[in-house]
Every structure is written in C-alpha cells, then in structure tokens.
Amino acid sequence: MTLRIAVVGVGRIGNVHAGVYEKHPECELVAVSDAIKDKADAAAERYNARAFYSVQEMLSSGIRIDAASMCTAGVENGGDHYQPTMELLRAGIPVLGEKPISNNIDEAREMVALAREKGLRYGINLNHRFTPAALRAKEWVDDGRLGELNIINMTMWINNPNESSPWFHIRALHPHSIDVMRYFGGDVEKVQAFFKKGKGRNIWSNVQVNMLFEKGIIGHLTGSYDAGGSYGLETLEVVGSDGRFVLREACEHLTFCPRFSRESETYDYLGGMMSFGETFASRIGRWIEQNLQEVAPEAIDASGEDALKVQTIIEAIIESWEKGTVVDLS
C-alpha cells in the first residue's frame, strides 16, 4: 500500500516534511496547501503535487488523502494549528501535527478529544527522542540496567532572539525537552519554576524547572533562548541506583556509567545518525510506518495525548512562576 499524503503549511518545516515524504518509497505526496498562494504553488511544482490554498478547498476537491502533516505556525509557533487540524480530523484524516500541539491548552484538548472521538491516529512531531541513541538508552532503562531511576536532568537551549510573546520560549521550545523527560520518567505530578528575562529582552527567555514525577523520580529542566552556539542544543542525564547515562545532542553521544565501576561505555552517532536534523526523517518515518501498519490510535508514538500532557506541564510551569508556588498536576 502507498500512503497518499498532504502537507498543510509549506513554509520552512512543511518543506522538511514534504522532502521526507517525497523520498519515502511507500508515500506519494499528492497535495500541498498554504494560505499564501505563491508558497503553495511553488511547493506543488517542487513535489509534483496539487496546490490548494485552504484545507476546505483541498477537502472539497475530493482528492484522496490517507494522512496529513500539519506544519502551520502562528502565535508562539502553535496558534495556527487548531483550525486546519480540526478540519482534517472532522474529515477523518489522520494528522501528524507540528509542535507545540497548540499554544492554547483548550484548543489542544479539543483536537485530542476530536481525534479520540473519531478513532483517528493523531501524532505530534516531538522528534528529539526518535533517535537510535534514545532508543538504546530506553532499552537500558526498561531492562533495569540503571536500577531504580532517581534523577532526570535535561538542558535544552538555542539562540532565538524572537521577541514575540512572554511565554514563547517555554511554549514553543520545551514541548521537546519535556517530551524526552516523560519518555524516560513517565507522567509528572508537580512542578516549580523560576524564569529570567535575558539581557535586553522582554520575554521570559531563561527557565529553571523542578519536577516530581508520579513514580517519585525528581527532575530538573534548564532552558534558554539566550544560548546555543558553542553551548550545543541539549544534554540529558538519567541517574539510577545502579548506573547513569548521559545523552548529548539527541543522537550524537551516549555514555553509560555503571555506578560502582569506572568502565564506562560510549556510543557516538549510533545507527549512523549524525545530527539533530536527521530526527525529522526518523520521526516522520515512524509515523508513516505506524499508519501503514494501521496501528490503533492509542499506539501512536508521541501522540496528540502525549503532546497534550506535555503542554499541560508547560502551563503548570507558567502558573508556578506567576503564583510563586509548587503546582500539583494530579
């Protein structure tokens, strides 16, 4: 079977999705849609697909679509996702949305509820954990190699001078970091956060968050839009009673350190994955695979439900800073 794909929003990231589908032997990119006519037309020509200027127009054309990528942006990089996603889901089309699922938690809830009601696969491009190194580390955790998990530390930072809204940094970047933390630690029960505005900035561009996971694991997130460059992108450390691992740059360097021995194990570029950019193809590839296998919606990796939980944690982080309290999510 070949999946007939549509990409909605063919800006920077929509073109990355389109490029992945174009190269995939089991996909046919049949439609591209963008509210800006020139962008839709250019993408249609590039990928030999049909151009549309709205989802409604695309749906009423009668074209068969088996799955769609939703790559709009908007306020806090998520404000435009709701309307076209709802239109696609109402039409019975499985959706792979870009992150954040939405910058508006009520709209995120509605999209997840509609997908559930319609029994549709709904995934989010939380691509940072779709790496051979993260998979290897997850196997170690599941096999008990680290013993009982005690601590999860995550640092994720980039250089982003955009001053669009006060909560842009936590809402737009940290779906990624918190998704990775949840991947290893499970659901989060409590959060407490401090924010700092970077030099000359009006937005909360630096954050420190403490977390208590439901399993009792304690976690910490460091985030910044005033970093990047030589600081790299991300470092994850998971510490257990018998060992710990450190994963640098999502896919590049993974080290396991047994607690009572100095004999550490390091893997560089596991699976041949060289840099973060390659996570798009691995995450979208998994989405394609799960659609071809027609898996149940609840089996989708990095699902809309997962992304909603992440966004709920983000709103609790904001509330913690605004109220000066620990926020309980349970």
Q: Could you please report the per-residue DSSP string of 19-51?
A: HHHHH-TTEEEEEEE-SSHHHHHHHHHHHT-EE
CA 170, CA 186: separation in Å to the nearest integer? Answer: 20
Query: Interface with ligand NAD includes 8 (CB under 6 A)?
Result: yes
Nearest distance in Å: CB 204, ligand NAD: 17
Nearest distance in Å: CB 240, ligand NAD: 28
Nearest distance in Å: CB 275, ligand NAD: 12
Query: Interface with ligand NAD includes 282 (CB under 6 A)?
Result: no
Query: Interface with ligand NAD includes 11 (CB under 6 A)?
Result: yes
Residue 147 structure tokens: 């013993």
Query: Interface with ligand NAD includes 33 (CB under 6 A)?
Result: yes
Residues ≥6 apart with Cβ < 8 Å to 142: none
Query: Interface with ligand NAD includes 172 (CB under 6 A)?
Result: yes
**Cβ-closest position to ligand NAD:** 11
Torsions phi, psi of 237, nearest 5? Answer: -130, 125
Residue 288 structure tokens: 């394609």
Fill in the per-residue mask, 39 to 78: x = in contact with ligand NAD (CB under 6 A), - = not in contact.
x--------------xx---------------xxx---xx
Decide whether 83 or 192 has the Cβ nearer to ligand NAD.
Answer: 83
For 275-289, b/e burial (b = at least 16 CB within 10 A) is ebebbbbbbbbbbbe
What strands lie across the sheet with 149-157, from one edge to the other?
A: 265-268, 253-258, 243-248, 234-240, 149-157, 218-224, 206-213, 188-196, 327-328
Query: Given candidates 35, 75, 151, 292, which one binds ligand NAD under the rule CB under 6 A?
Result: 35
Decide whether 11 or 147 has the Cβ nearer to ligand NAD.
Answer: 11
Nearest distance in Å: CB 140, ligand NAD: 25
Size of the site for ligand NAD (CB under 6 A): 26
Residues ≥6 apart with Cβ < 8 Å to 329: 187, 188, 189, 190, 191, 312, 313, 316
Decide whether 33 or 104 has the Cβ nearer to ligand NAD.
Answer: 33
Nearest distance in Å: CB 33, ligand NAD: 5
Query: Interface with ligand NAD includes 103 (CB under 6 A)?
Result: no
Cβ-contact 323, 198 below 8 angstroms: no
| Rounded CA Rg of the chain | 20
Query: Interface with ligand NAD includes 158 (CB under 6 A)?
Result: no
Q: Could you please report the per-residue DSSP string of 102-149?
A: -SSHHHHHHHHHHHHHHT--EEE--GGG-SHHHHHHHHHHHTTTT-SE
Query: Given candidates 69, 85, 104, 127, which one binds ligand NAD under the rule CB under 6 A?
Result: 127
Decide whether 3 or 96 has the Cβ nearer to ligand NAD.
Answer: 96
Decide whether 96 or 137 has the Cβ nearer to ligand NAD.
Answer: 96
| Interacting residue ranges for ligand NAD, rule: CB under 6 A | 8-9, 11-14, 33-36, 39, 54-55, 71-73, 77-78, 80, 83-84, 98-99, 125, 127, 172
